[in-house]
Every structure is written in structure tokens, then in C-alpha cells.
Structure 1
Amino acid sequence: MVTTWTEAVWFLPFVIPIAIWVTWSDMASMKIPNKAVLALMIVFAVIGLIALPFVDYLWRWAHFAVVLVITFVLNALRLLGAGDAKFAAAMAPFIALPDWYPFMFLLGATLIAAFIVHRVAKATRIRQMVPDWESWTRREFPMGMALAPALVFYLAIALAQG
């Protein structure tokens, strides 16, 4: 992976609480708050200046724009929720361009695992602990439950490779 241990050390402590917020919110209400998306963008805007070489920092904003366009098209086709689209775009600058291919495999694995965990939790006593979560009754899957952990896992892998 191209993302360095130093980058992961800087980003991860700020990304983890936002990822928990996004995951929880998406499972509870099937919405990713705009404030969470904005918080992730602010983390990159501020910490990215410290963690990345300036040229890389500037280029990573292009990742945001490209992913925003792609995910908004997917949203227009009703393949992805608007909150998921915005959050995926906010995640994009954290991922180095050469890491996109392995990240997509990581996202795929995280999506499968999140789907299984959600369906198993739905059929267990966990559902009784939070019976009002909207994700229990909706046909759609709360993608924030996969997107947010995928970013955390990506940074954690970079940290472990340190």
C-alpha cells in the first residue's frame, strides 16, 4: 500500500469516531448525517495538510470530485443513497490513488461482512436492544455500515504495515 504509517497515525484517531457515528446513524435512521460528511472533509482538510506532502494533498481533492460525480450518477440511478454518495466522496481523499484497486477489494469484503452481520443481528436479541432502528425494517441496506469501517480498516492496514 502507498498510504504510509505516518498518514494512518494522523488520520485514524479522527476517522474512527466519525466512522462509528456514520455506522450507528445509518443503522438507526438509514441516513448518514451531512454533519458527519462535513466532519470527515474537515479532518482531511486540516490533518491532510500535516500528514501529506502538499502536492499529494492537493491531488487528493481530485479524488473527492471524481467520486462525487460517480456516486451522484449511481444515486440518480437509484443504486446508492445520497448520504452514501456524499460519504464515499468525503472518504476518497484519504485513499491514495495507487491503493484504489486494493481498497475496492477491501470495500467488497467489508460490504459482504457488514451485510451478514446486519442480517444475523436482525435475527438475534440484538434487535431487541435497539428495536426502533429503521434498518431492521427497510429493504435497503445501510451502506454506511460498510463504507465507514472500510475506511477504518484501510487506515489500520497502513498502520500495521508501518
Structure 2
Amino acid sequence: MALSASVALWFLPLLVPLCLYVAYTDLSEMRITNPTVITMAAIFAAMGPFLYPLDTYLWQLAHLGIVLLAGMVLNAAGAMGAGDAKFLAAAAPYVALGDIRLVMALFAAVLLAAYAVHTIAKRTSLRNYAPNWTSWSPKGRRFPMGFALGPTLAIYLILAAMYGS
């Protein structure tokens, strides 16, 4: 893995709760909150200069702007929700460019699992444990992508902490 284990260990305890919160709020309210993504970006902005060489830090920070721009275009085209675009932009600096294939494969696996779990819960009596969740609503047939995005970043950081360079 391109992300170092020491860097991942610094970010891990701060980001995993945020990633789980993103999954929860997207399931329950179908939204990813601005304070959450701002906190994610602020953590990188504050800690990054101490964990990376300056050129690497600036490049990783540039990922935020690049992904945000792409997300805005995809949101305008109706291909992605605004919260998903914001989360991806805030998460982008944490992903080392050399790990992009791994993250894409990890996201594909987590997305399939999240979709299966959500669909099963939505169509069975498990739904009764959280009857008021917005993601159960049939309108628009939208899937709470934060349910897959949050855990993907969390798992990536855990893997980097275990197997990072």
C-alpha cells in the first residue's frame, strides 16, 4: 500500500467515527451533513502538514478540489447526490494515489455488500428496528451511497494501518 501505516494510524481514530456517522445519517435521513465533511477536510488540513512532506501534502490536498469539481459536475448531471460528492471530496486527500485501484476495488465490494444488506433489511422485518429511516422510502428508489462510502474509507484506513508502507 502506498499510504504509510503511521499516517493511517494518526487519521484512523478521528475518521472512523465520522465515516460511521456518514453511513448512519445517510441511512436514516438520506443526507450527508456539511459539518461532517468540513470536519473531515479540517482534520486533513490541520494534521497533514505534520504527517507528509510539503509537496505530498499539497498534492493530497489538491485531490480535494479536483474531486469536488468532478463531483459537482456529476451532481449537476444527476448522476450523484450532493452529499456523496462532498464526502468523496473530503475523503480524497486521505487516499494515496498509488492506492486508487485498491480503493476502487474495495468500494465495489463494499457497495455490493451495502446494497445487499440495505435491500434485505428494507424488505424484511429488520426494517422494524428503524421504521422511520428515510432510506426505506420507495420514492425515487435512491440508495444511501454514504452507507458504502463511509465504510470504504474506514476499511481503507484500517488496511493501511495494518499493511501500509
The runs of 5 or more residues in structure 1 that have no matched partner are none
SS of 2:3 mapped into structure 1:
coil
Q: Alpha-carbon deviations, 1:51-95, whole Å to 9, x = none? A: 222221111111111111111111111110001001100000000
TM-score, length-normalised on structure 1? Answer: 0.95
Number of matched residues? Answer: 162
Q: 1:39 and 1:121 mapped to 2: Cα distance?
A: 30
Q: 1:8 and 1:126 mapped to 2: Cα distance?
A: 34
The one-letter amino acid paired with 2:89 is A
SS of 1:122 mapped into structure 2:
helix
SS of 1:72 mapped into structure 2:
helix
| Post-superposition offset of 1:101 | 1.9
State the partner residue of 1:154. Answer: 156
SS of 1:43 mapped into structure 2:
helix
The runs of 5 or more residues in structure 2 that have no matched partner are none
Q: 2:46 and 2:124 mapped to 1: Cα distance?
A: 41
TM-score, length-normalised on structure 2? Answer: 0.94
State the partner residue of 1:28. Answer: 28
Is the contact made by 2:45 and 2:61 (CA closer than 8 Å) also made in structure 1? no
After superposing on structure 2, the runs of 4+ consecutive aligned residues of structure 1 that deviate more than 3 Å are none
Worse-matched range after superposition: 80-89 or 51-60: 51-60
